[in-house]
Amino acid sequence: LLSVMGHQNIWFSHPRKYGPGSRSCRVCSNHHGLIRKYGLNMCRRCFREYSTDIGFRKRADRSRMDCEDIPECLAPSRQQQLVLFTGLDIANNAAHAAVFSTFTQNRLPDRAPLRMILLSADNPLYAGNAHKIKAAKSSKGYVKISWMWKYVREVPAIIVVFADLNWNHPSWNEKVTECESKISSLRASIGTRGTRICVVLLQDAGVVTGDDPFASERATKLCQSCQLSPKQLFVFPMTDHLLGFVVRLESAFHELAQGFYQQCLKSIRARSIPNNFSNLIIRQQFKLAFISELRQDTHTALRHYKLAYQQCVEGEPPDTELFEWRQVTAVINYKVHSFYIIYRVCHHYKVCSLCICQLSFLHSTALEAISQQRRHVSHMFALLPGSYPSTQLAAIEFAFWKSKQVRFIIF
């Protein structure tokens, strides 16, 4: 019980000069905010200072995790932009299943870097924002894995609404109202995230948009009702050869997604970062680099990863953050060396050196990647192991970390 309880669960007594509850701290003789539970009889200040020594520790933060292999969100050399599809009934409609399979199967490297999945009821997008518990923002730590997963698996750049709707549909007005209601619901779920929404009309192959007298008028009305620009409305003819139309739609989706990630970059840059918090500077540079990767701007991503790595190398973290600092430095080195190095890292990463090496290989600068890895090893291995939580444990952790740096490296 003592090892899992949180500090917030401890009873405090209010200061009293007389009567019960007037006991003083057994360390500093102060009676203000005395902790009496478990017979501690310590004030809050002394408890914070000595809690680790007497066997207490804070309840595990679920936003963190123990050491594990590099997560999938960092491993790919080419990040994919998340696109959610809704309105396709692939289980009961063969035409919808054919459209979805054409989008998702047999994707060649020359196609747009999109990761397209169906929007289901259990998607985090539909989770009640009012009941969702968010981890408090902290100036400690570096980059959370949950932040990276958010942009890889949860927050889409685009939501595509598919609708079976011809220009001459007899219930056109009802279909437009239904589409408008669905888009309004999606916007409410998105909130302030800035995700783009577009509509794709699945139409019969025999209907040619240019020959339909209703096409222009009804397209304008649909855009006005759903508050969409003409660039967010697409027509998809259901022919026997879907691949050509799919490739064109993917290019349009990719262009819309670029705007979403550009807005994310502006939001990150707009945050004020104190110069005396090196971990916050590293966090900001890493976020800029990761979003730039999603935007397919790898040169800008490499530049931000190098800036983050420079901050890591020049920083002097306290002993309590030394192991985490080494991990993050190693992972950033991966992004700037090899696609094949696997490390075990904590939930907060110092992701500098690894990121640099991976992107250097992507830009066909293998010699620079090898030089970066050698500089990383020579600098980091020469540092002292630290003394937290004890000198012996710190030495073991440092040796374990060094073994991971050279495990798959052959020069």
Query: What is the spatial distance between Cα 46 and Cα 43, in angstroms, rounded to a whole number?
Result: 6
pLDDT for res 350: 38
pLDDT for res 121: 75
Q: Are 142 and 282 in contact (CB under 8 A)?
A: yes
Q: Examine the domain organization and report whether 244 and 282 are in the same domain.
A: no
Mean per-residue pLDDT of the chain: 77
* pLDDT exceeds 50 at position 339: no
Q: Examine the domain organization and report whether 335 and 359 are in the same domain.
A: yes
- CB count in 10 Å sphere of residue 8: 7
For 147, the 3-state DSSP assignment is helix
Q: Examine the domain organization and report whether 225 and 280 are in the same domain.
A: no
pLDDT: is 189 or 127 the higher one? 189
Q: Are 308 and 331 in contact (CB under 8 A)?
A: no
Query: What is the spatial distance between Cα 326 and Cα 373, in angstroms, rounded to a whole number?
Result: 14
Going by C-beta distance under 8 Å and a sequence separation of 6 or more, which residues neighbour residue 29?
none
Confidence of residue 57 (pLDDT cuts 50, 70, 90): low
Q: Examine the domain organization and report whether 103 and 235 are in the same domain.
A: yes
Q: How many domains, in total, are found in the chain?
A: 3
* pLDDT exceeds 80 at position 296: yes
Residue 314: give the domain boundaries.
Answer: 267-405
Q: Examine the domain organization and report whether 181 and 206 are in the same domain.
A: yes
Q: Find the range with the poorest average confidence among 58-62, 184-188, 378-382.
A: 58-62
* pLDDT exceeds 80 at position 366: no
CATH number for position 149: 3.40.50
pLDDT: is 396 or 365 the higher one? 396
389-401 average pLDDT score:
83
Q: Examine the domain organization and report whether 213 and 332 are in the same domain.
A: no
Would you state the structure tokens that stand for residue 275, as one six-digit string? 């110069």
Domain assignment present for 342: yes
pLDDT tens per residue across span 10-34: 444 444 444 445 567 777 777 666 6
Query: What is the spatial distance between Cα 345 and Cα 354, in angstroms, rounded to a whole number?
Result: 12
Q: Find the range with the poorest average confidence among 73-77, 140-144, 176-180, 186-190.
A: 73-77
pLDDT for res 333: 78
Long-range contacts of 172-177 (CB under 8 A, 24+ apart): 172/218, 176/221, 176/222, 176/225, 176/226, 177/225
- Looking from the CA of 20 toward its CB, the CA atoms found within 13 Å total 1
pLDDT tens per residue across span 112-137: 999 999 998 777 776 655 445 555 56
The pTM of the full predicted model, rounded to 2 decimals, is 0.73
Q: Are 338 and 407 in contact (CB under 8 A)?
A: no
Q: Examine the domain organization and report whether 240 and 95 are in the same domain.
A: yes
* pLDDT exceeds 70 at position 360: no
Handedness of CA 14, 15, 16, 19 (dihedral sign): positive
Last residue of a domain, one of 240, 262, 284: 262
Domain assignment present for 153: yes
Domain assignment present for 41: yes
Q: Examine the domain organization and report whether 120 and 228 are in the same domain.
A: yes
DSSP symbols for 228-247: --GGGEEEEEE-S--HHHHH
Domain assignment present for 282: yes
